[in-house]
Structure 1
Amino acid sequence: MKKTFKILSLSMVAFMLMTMICGCGDGSNVTSTTGKPGFPDYLSSGTEGDFEYDQYKSYITITKYIGKDVDVTVPDKIKDTPVTTIEDRAFANDSNKSIIHSVTLPNTISNLDTSSFYNSRFLENIQISPDNKSYKSVDGVLYSYDMKQLVGFPENSSITEFTVPEGVTTIDNSRFAFCANLTKLTFPSTLKVVSDFSFHGATGLTELTFPEGMEEIGACAFFRCTGLTKITYPSTIKTIGENSFVGCSNLKTIEGFAGTAAETSATTIGATFVDLTE
């Protein structure tokens, strides 16, 4: 039987002020996983067509798309060197005012930065060569080749209700960030980890229920999810990252099991905690 009680704590307003001081930023401060100039194998930087890039001894990293095309195709080679890596915010529309609707990646891509598609506000579709052995695209959504990681969900996808496929264990950083059209997400029983900023600015989501077996929620995972009213956590949840609920002004209810991270997070933000322990 559910037991509902109000957790007495600091007010939501005080918490929000505190966490804004600590700072979630805008989600773009996720640490880059790609190489930078100064690494031993770095050779030079340049521009080829509509792409800025860094050249290393054996590969090319795309650092920025600077063109104006709606549909963008990334080349498989620059200067006869394979393009293997897409840098953080490479397709962001914050500087060149491009309005990219679709991105097609070549078979040579083997490394996508944690925020490669971050702030691509008009992106509707991500495709990749069927010959690529690192990633695959299903209905415009990008996954690792083994389908265990959800790697890229277009921010302006027309999908409103989405079911993460069974077998996915990890939702990478910022993968549903700014996906305001999403109103409902269903998670697979295999899900274990939701990474930092995963739902940042996904304002259309109102309720989220995570499956039994889920263990970890990253920092600022629900940052500015203003439509979110309720979250349900399983008994297996171990960690809920810092500042996960900054800007969640309508989050009033957290369901979970007494003594877990779910109860702790409810205490922190002053939400109503619903104990699912029978």
Structure 2
Amino acid sequence: MLYIGNHFISAYQGKSTPCNIKSGTKTIADSAFFACGDLPNITIPKSVTSIGDEAFYSCLDLASITVDPDNPAYCSESGVLYSKEKTEIIRFPKEKAGDSFAIPTGVIKIADGAFEDC
């Protein structure tokens, strides 16, 4: 995984093990997980305050995203990544279990690519 200071830039495109972004990371770059097709899950620490566009593009095996409950900008529920206030769905993991998904009351925005390949 590539970091520049406290910015997560990129994961190895063939990454196939769970990814725990290191504590103290402030941002996740645009397309940071591009083509990490075998990546099963990602854990985001409380320090991350900005996630770039299409950060999870082509994460075809992604089953869940977990966010530290103390994160001020993001949260997760049942593996789905939301803005902290749950007004925006940022990423729905393609391999999330279940046959259906109901968009929660209060969601007013769905990020570009949030349901990619679902």
Which of 45, 64, 78 aligns to 2:10? It is 64
Confirm or deny: 8 A CA contact 1:92 1:121 kept in the other structure.
Answer: no
Partner of 1:116: 55
Structure 1: unaligned runs, 5 residues or longer: 1-50, 77-81, 180-278
1:73 aligns with 2:20: yes
C-alpha distance in structure 2 between counterparts of 1:155 and 1:92, whole Å:
14
CA deviation profile, 1:186-229 (whole Å, cap 9, x unmatched):
xxxxxxxxxxxxxxxxxxxxxxxxxxxxxxxxxxxxxxxxxxxx
Partner of 2:34: 92
Structure 1 segment 1-278 matched on structure 2, within 5 A: 51-55=1-5, 60-66=6-12, 68-76=15-23, 82-93=24-35, 99-179=38-118
CA deviation profile, 1:58-117 (whole Å, cap 9, x unmatched):
xx22111127442111101xxxxx3111112212236xxx62100001000110112111
Aligned length: 117
C-alpha distance in structure 1 between counterparts of 2:10 and 2:99, whole Å:
29
C-alpha distance in structure 2 between counterparts of 1:120 and 1:146, whole Å:
25
Confirm or deny: 8 A CA contact 1:104 1:127 kept in the other structure.
Answer: yes
Q: Which amino acid aligns with 1:99?
A: D
Change in Cα spacing, 1:106 to 1:164, as seen in structure 2 (3 Å) is: same
RMSD: 1.6
C-alpha distance in structure 2 between counterparts of 1:155 and 1:69, whole Å:
15
C-alpha distance in structure 2 between counterparts of 1:156 and 1:149, whole Å:
20
C-alpha distance in structure 1 between counterparts of 2:16 and 2:100, whole Å:
28
Confirm or deny: 8 A CA contact 1:88 1:118 kept in the other structure.
Answer: no
Confirm or deny: 8 A CA contact 1:86 1:113 kept in the other structure.
Answer: yes
Confirm or deny: 8 A CA contact 1:89 1:119 kept in the other structure.
Answer: no
Higher relative contact order (CA 8 A, sep 6+): 2
C-alpha distance in structure 1 between counterparts of 2:90 and 2:15, whole Å:
25
Secondary structure, in 3 states, of the residue corresponding to 1:83? coil
Going by fraction, where is helix more abundant, 1 or 2? 1
Could you tell me the TM-score, scaled by structure 1's length?
0.40
Structure 1 segments (4+ residues) deviating >4 Å: none
Secondary structure, in 3 states, of the residue corresponding to 2:81? strand
Structure 2: unaligned runs, 5 residues or longer: none
* Bigger radius of gyration: 1
C-alpha distance in structure 2 between counterparts of 1:166 and 1:131, whole Å:
22
C-alpha distance in structure 1 between counterparts of 2:98 and 2:17, whole Å:
19
